[in-house]
């Protein structure tokens, strides 16, 4: 592949957001999150079982602080227009939740707890909604010098010509296996022409392993526009085209440009039964807040 062909590939992947039946993706210098993780706190007591089951007041107080912080964070996310970008207020509340969770050992060890499995809906992103897809993270790794310029082409297209969202992730992880394995499927709805043409840009990833106690190393495998309204208008023929058309092997394409670029790390700094905060390992300032829609079947590791 020549340099011209590589750049043409990058531009083609990005502009697929406009034509729908194609693809899109992301990552500059690695930024490490040195978040210290503590082992789960164990309370020992010689009291009878009935009294030992009582939660210490300090723990109950810490848990209540976290619940209050979560409620306020969700309220702020709902009040903030998804896709409008960075909010200093929301991100300050995110950092507060991360701090409270770490201090109380609540919402930690996300890669092994089993709670990360399930269906999640994006409620806050510090960048464009499409950046929630690991495909864009990998695209940045493959094209570190030109990705921002390419993303800017589609980001600059105003609504209602282009509308993005909602975005979901379905994660299924077996935390009891070694290495940790599973799948991550990212779905982002993209509409063009005032909503006349819509598609779900679906990126499928394999979970290769855990990365520390709070990270998942995933490999982008494929990207495909699904549920295209254009194809739906063709009736049975459209259904046949949609079901038979193979997904674009975006992971392999990125690997040909830059070996290793298809692998990214999802760093989750808080995860419980209802809320998840994740970051792009390569860009710690890229933060994503997800609310749970469904629980998954992921197994929990013994700690």
The answer to whether residue 302 is domain-embedded is no
The answer to whether residue 135 is domain-embedded is yes
pLDDT beyond 90 at 256:
yes
pTM: 0.76
What are 274-301's pLDDT values in tens digits?
999 999 999 999 999 999 999 987 555 4
**The total number of structural domains that make up the chain:** 1
Between 250-257 and 134-142, two packed helices, what is the crossing angle to 10 degrees? 20
pLDDT beyond 90 at 81:
yes
Q: How are beta strands 197-210 and 215-226 bridged, if at all?
A: antiparallel
The answer to whether residue 120 is domain-embedded is yes
The answer to whether residue 38 is domain-embedded is no
Identify the pLDDT of residue 2: 41
DSSP the chain: --HHHHHHHHHHHHHHHHHSSS---B--S---------PPP-----S-HHHHTSPPHHHHHHHHHHHHHHHHHHHHHHHS-TTS---HHHHHHHHHHHHHHHHHT-S--HHHHSTT-EEEEEEEESS-GGGGSHHHHHHHHH-TTTHHHHHHHHHTPPTTTEEEEEEEEEEEEETTSSS-EEEEEEEEEEEEGGGTEEEEEEEEEEEEEE-SSSEEEEEEEEEEEES-HHHHTTTHHHHHHHHHSPPB-HHHHHHHHSTTTTEEEEEEEEE-SSEEEEEETTEEEEEEEEEEEEE--PPPPP-
The answer to whether residue 139 is domain-embedded is yes
Identify the pLDDT of residue 57: 64
The answer to whether residue 246 is domain-embedded is yes
What are 222-255's pLDDT values in tens digits?
999 887 665 455 455 445 545 556 677 889 999 9
Q: Report the pLDDT averaged over residues 134-150.
A: 93
* Domain that includes residue 113, residue range: 3-28+58-295
Find residue 171's DSSP bridge partners.
118, 184
Give φ, ψ of 135 to 5 degrees.
Answer: -60, -40
What are 15-37's pLDDT values in tens digits?
444 343 333 333 334 434 344 44
The answer to whether residue 23 is domain-embedded is yes
Contact 289, 277 (CB under 8 A): yes
What CA–CA distance (Å, rounded) separates 170 from 168? 7
The answer to whether residue 37 is domain-embedded is no
């Amino acid at each position: 592949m020549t340099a011209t062909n590589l750049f043409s590939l990058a531009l083609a992947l990005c502009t697929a957001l406009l034509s729908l039946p194609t693809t899109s993706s992301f990552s500059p210098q690695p930024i490490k999150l040195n978040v210290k993780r503590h082992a789960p706190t164990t309370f020992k007591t010689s009291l009878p079982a009935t009294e030992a089951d009582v939660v210490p007041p300090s723990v109950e107080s810490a848990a209540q602080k976290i619940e209050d912080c979560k409620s306020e964070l969700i309220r702020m996310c709902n009040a903030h227009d998804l896709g409008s970008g960075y909010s200093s207020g929301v991100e300050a509340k995110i950092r507060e939740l991360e701090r409270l969770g770490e201090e109380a050992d609540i919402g930690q060890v996300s890669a092994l707890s089993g709670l990360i499995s399930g269906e999640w809906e994006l409620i806050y992103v510090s960048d464009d909604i499409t950046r929630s897809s690991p495909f864009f993270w990998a695209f940045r790794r493959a094209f570190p010098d030109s990705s921002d310029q390419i993303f800017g082409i589609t980001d600059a297209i105003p609504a209602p010509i282009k509308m993005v969202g909602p975005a979901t992730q379905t994660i299924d992880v077996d935390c009891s296996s070694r290495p940790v394995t599973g799948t991550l499927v990212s779905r982002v709805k993209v509409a063009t022409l005032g909503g006349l043409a819509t598609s779900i840009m679906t990126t499928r990833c394999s979970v290769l392993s855990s990365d520390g106690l709070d990270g998942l190393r995933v490999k982008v495998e494929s990207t495909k526009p699904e549920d295209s309204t254009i194809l739906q208008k063709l009736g049975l023929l459209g259904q046949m085209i949609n079901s038979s058309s193979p997904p674009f092997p975006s992971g392999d394409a990125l690997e040909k440009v830059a070996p290793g670029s298809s692998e990214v790390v999802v760093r989750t700094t808080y995860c419980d039964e209802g809320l998840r905060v994740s970051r792009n390992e390569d860009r710690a300032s890229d933060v994503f807040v997800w609310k749970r829609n469904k629980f998954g079947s992921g197994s929990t590791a013994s700690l």
